Amino acid sequence: MTWTKPKLACGVSVLLTGLMLGAVPALAEKPLSASDWLSGSLKQPDTISAWRPGDARPRDAMRNDTRREIAPTGAVEPVGVTRLGEGNPDRLGTVSPRVAGLPADLWGTSDAATLSQMITRSNPQLPALRRLMRRVLAAQLEPPVTADGQAGQLFLARVDKLLDMGATGAAKELLKTSGPGSPARFRRLFDISLLSGEEAKACETMDRTPGIAPSFAARVYCLAHGGDWAAAALVFHGAEAMGQIDPDMARLLSHYLDDSYVDGSENLTPPAVVTPLALRLHEAIGQPISSSSLPLAFALSDLDGNGGWKAQLDAAERLARSGAIPASQLRAIYVQQSPAASGGVWDRAAAIQALADALALQDLAAVAKALPPAFDRMTEAGLGPALADMVGAEVGKLDLTGRPGQIALWLALQAGQSQVVETPASDITPFDAWLLKFAGGDNSAPPSDSAEAERAAQFAAALAIPAGQGLASGPAQLIADNRRGEALLGAIANVDAGSSGDTARAAQGLTVLDALQQQEIARQAAVELILGPMMTGPQP
């Protein structure tokens, strides 16, 4: 549909825009979130009115409401439910403290601002620590100490960290516990909906909930998406005339609303900060933006396969590498089609398909042949942990020897499935035999003839210390002051530093995790640190 600007359109739309704005707060000078790509976070009004062309004027609506005060019959009216008050959203979560394996008063006397900053800076790389971090972010915990105006700050920091981790599904579920009533929360729900292809639901929510539209651009998009192109054009002209839409976004919306641009040759330059809305608009006008260089959450938009299998594979690998999607989902995408070429992702897909076929046939010889190539291809791409989650439990219980047997053991240990290795291979190395026992809870010293013996000995010694003892003064004081959440977040960062070679710091972090009743996580993290060199590339 092509629309044009009538001569009086600008004047009328300015008037309408003034009605829509009402009392709009001053434009924000800083992003409202650590995730700068959130829609509407860049110098946009905090809210806009939900009124749109075609809606009844307030006075008319009041008349209608007055007429409805007299019941038409004597029947009992349905019971209505109204949210009376949300309270502090910092206490909300999707799992109970017991399920999360955390004390309900983990935050204790810590203040919300400090915890929010620590969560924002946190970026664990070890799979065990990422799982722990996600449990912390999702748990229903007693809220920390807050100053005036801080209530909900920690909640949004938790949501934003999940988005930064690519865990859009978990972020969405967390946001749903509080409802979309807050503009800041709806802004995040709107972005997630755009990335997951559920924008129709988000637009419906925006339509029926006054004051939560994150920007005029979002309102224009939703009007057009719902088929009201005339209203979308009217609101667009008015908002543009009022300077309420960024020039780059205005140009993009012009192409989106006017189908005369379809046959044009003008290519729009992607904005410096790509938002999910900009991503969808570029896709709609036939100038899609690759998600490979965008924040991790954007990779979700390529999982639908609309961009082809290659784009889907690239996105799935990126998400699986960061633990944002289950490895089983990556495995399912790998086996969808036959590789179209060789090299890179195609070699990985071919290797996984060969391994999957061998496992399906329960052919031990075929598994022994297919496992090493799959391991080499995956580890050189940083996907060793994903491969472990895919097949570790399956191959760990098989009677494999030689290099296939060693790889199978490593994958089972990396996946936290040491219990499946009932009978170690007859040719198992002394160090691997020790590592298997260590994963099961044995803290004895490793054999000294291994290259990893020194590092492994430090981790074993740290976990052999009785819980609560041997702590450095900093974390010990935090625990004593009932600031265990800060101690836990600090321990996660310290243990993860072992991935960069800081073994002493990692060992200290393990003692803190142990003191905070996270023994299983501490041991699995230590196993992953020890396996690190073995899981980073082809072995001789």
- List average pLDDT for each run of 10 residues in the chain, which is 540 residues long: 39 38 32 53 37 38 36 39 62 96 96 95 96 97 83 93 94 91 88 92 88 90 93 93 91 87 74 91 90 90 87 95 94 94 95 97 97 97 96 96 97 97 93 96 90 92 92 96 97 96 96 97 98 73
DSSP-based three-state secondary structure for 145: strand
Q: What is the pLDDT at residue 260?
A: 64
Give the largest CA-CA distance in the chain: 89
pTM: 0.84
DSSP-based three-state secondary structure for 36: coil
Q: Partners of 139 in the beta sheet?
A: 95
CA–CA separation, 463 and 459 (whole Å): 6
CB atoms within 10 A of CB 532: 18
DSSP-based three-state secondary structure for 380: coil
Q: What is the pLDDT at residue 259?
A: 74
Does residue 209 contact residue 180 with C-beta atoms inside 8 Å? yes
Angular region, 249: left φ>0, alpha ψ -120 to 50, beta rest: alpha
Does residue 435 contact residue 456 with C-beta atoms inside 8 Å? yes
Residue with tokens 């036939």: 286
Does residue 497 contact residue 509 with C-beta atoms inside 8 Å? yes
CA–CA separation, 38 and 32 (whole Å): 9
Share of the chain above pLDDT 70, in %: 82
Reference 223, options 240, 235, 211; nearest CA is: 235
Question: Which residue pairs, CB below 8 angstroms and at least 24 apart, start in 62-65?
Answer: none
Reference 429, options 454, 404, 402, 408; nearest CA is: 402
Identify the DSSP state of 65. Answer: H
DSSP-based three-state secondary structure for 111: strand
Does residue 525 contact residue 513 with C-beta atoms inside 8 Å? yes
Does residue 277 contact residue 216 with C-beta atoms inside 8 Å? no
